[in-house]
Amino acid sequence: MKPISAITASDLKQLRYILHDIDDTITNDGKLLPESYAALWELSRAGFKVIPVTGRPAGWCDMILRQWPVDAVIGENGAFVDYFEGDTKKRFFHPAVPKERLSEKLNEIKEACLKEVPGCRVSKDQSYRICDLAIDFNEDVHLGLEAAEEIRAIAERFGAVAKVSSIHVNIWFGDYTKVGMAELFLRQQLGEDRLEDKVLFFGDSPNDEPMFARFPLTVGVANIRPFAESLSHLPAFVTEGEGGFGFAEAAKLLTRLKKG
Ligand SMILES: [Mg+2]
């Protein structure tokens, strides 16, 4: 990981899309800082298309798309993208999302997690989800990574996909991912190619690793450092600040280099 100050104007020549994780990438201790929100506006006003890529629920994505300076939102770990076509709000589902979404099976997994992992709970944003089950281990409860791994193992026992974020274990059926959806949306819906030169991604944790692996232009905020040894794909650049402070620091640099 090189310091973000090492990024050059020539790295950014074709850059059009800023994709970014939300939790602990643009937030600090669960809050969206004024610095991060201003950075989103700076990037958008500089002409970048800004697309949050998150495990957060459909209900949040609807609000984010309507109120934040963003062009689309990839939600529930790649299950769908919310975006506007003219004045019309659209939701594009990944073709691998099963028809019967929050199925019986997810219910069985929920019961098993609650029974087998003491202290875990269904996330408080579960009511606003349409495709996945989120079990909280580190948002309103504080159980540590061992519990997250137990939850993940239970989900996998039922044949589900499970990803550990910094706060929840997200559990779903269907062969879709954040990176798969990013690629599908940019190629199919927006007609883009050569994504390698056009996309820059910001993340903070191991669940962002597939994005770090897929795109050459990637930035980790400083709080990724403790995970560095466990990652086989590191971001290309790292910020000095943590969370939203790091995001804001990098956004300033990107807009300055774009303006030349
Ligand atoms: Mg995160």
Average pLDDT, integer, range 206-214: 92
Residue 50 has pLDDT above 90, yes or no: yes
Residue 204 CB neighbour total at 10 angstroms: 29
Note the pLDDT of residue 100: 77
Q: Do the bridges between strand 133-136 and strand 121-122 make them parallel or antiparallel, or are there none, so unpaired?
A: antiparallel
Using 50, 70 and 90 to split pLDDT, how confident is the model at 57? very high
pTM of the model: 0.93
Note the pLDDT of residue 196: 94
Distance CA 243, CA 23 (A): 8
Average pLDDT, integer, range 14-41: 97
Distance CA 38, CA 124 (A): 27
In the reported structure, the alpha carbon of residue 77 is separated from the centroid of ligand 1 by a whole-number distance in angstroms of: 11
Non-local (6+) Cβ contacts of 53 within 8 A are: 19, 20, 21, 74, 78, 178, 181, 182, 201, 211
Residue 99 has pLDDT above 90, yes or no: no
Average pLDDT, integer, range 49-62: 96
Domain extents in the chain: 2-96+176-259, 104-172
Q: What is the pLDDT of residues 167-209, one digit of tens each?
A: 899 999 999 999 999 999 999 999 999 999 999 999 998 889 9
In the reported structure, the alpha carbon of residue 67 is separated from the centroid of ligand 1 by a whole-number distance in angstroms of: 21
Residue 102 has pLDDT above 80, yes or no: no
Enter the CATH code of domain 104-172. 3.90.1070.10
In the reported structure, the alpha carbon of residue 204 is separated from the centroid of ligand 1 by a whole-number distance in angstroms of: 5
Using 50, 70 and 90 to split pLDDT, how confident is the model at 230? confident
Residue 15 has pLDDT above 90, yes or no: yes
Let me know if the fold of 2-96+176-259 is the same as that of 104-172.
no
In the reported structure, the alpha carbon of residue 87 is separated from the centroid of ligand 1 by a whole-number distance in angstroms of: 30
For the chain, give the mean pLDDT: 95
Share of the chain above pLDDT 70, in %: 100
In the reported structure, the alpha carbon of residue 223 is separated from the centroid of ligand 1 by a whole-number distance in angstroms of: 10
In the reported structure, the alpha carbon of residue 20 is separated from the centroid of ligand 1 by a whole-number distance in angstroms of: 9
Structural fold of domain 2-96+176-259: Rossmann fold (3.40.50)
Distance CA 21, CA 247 (A): 10
Using 50, 70 and 90 to split pLDDT, how confident is the model at 126? very high
Residue 7 has pLDDT above 80, yes or no: yes
Share of the chain above pLDDT 90, in %: 92
In the reported structure, the alpha carbon of residue 43 is separated from the centroid of ligand 1 by a whole-number distance in angstroms of: 20
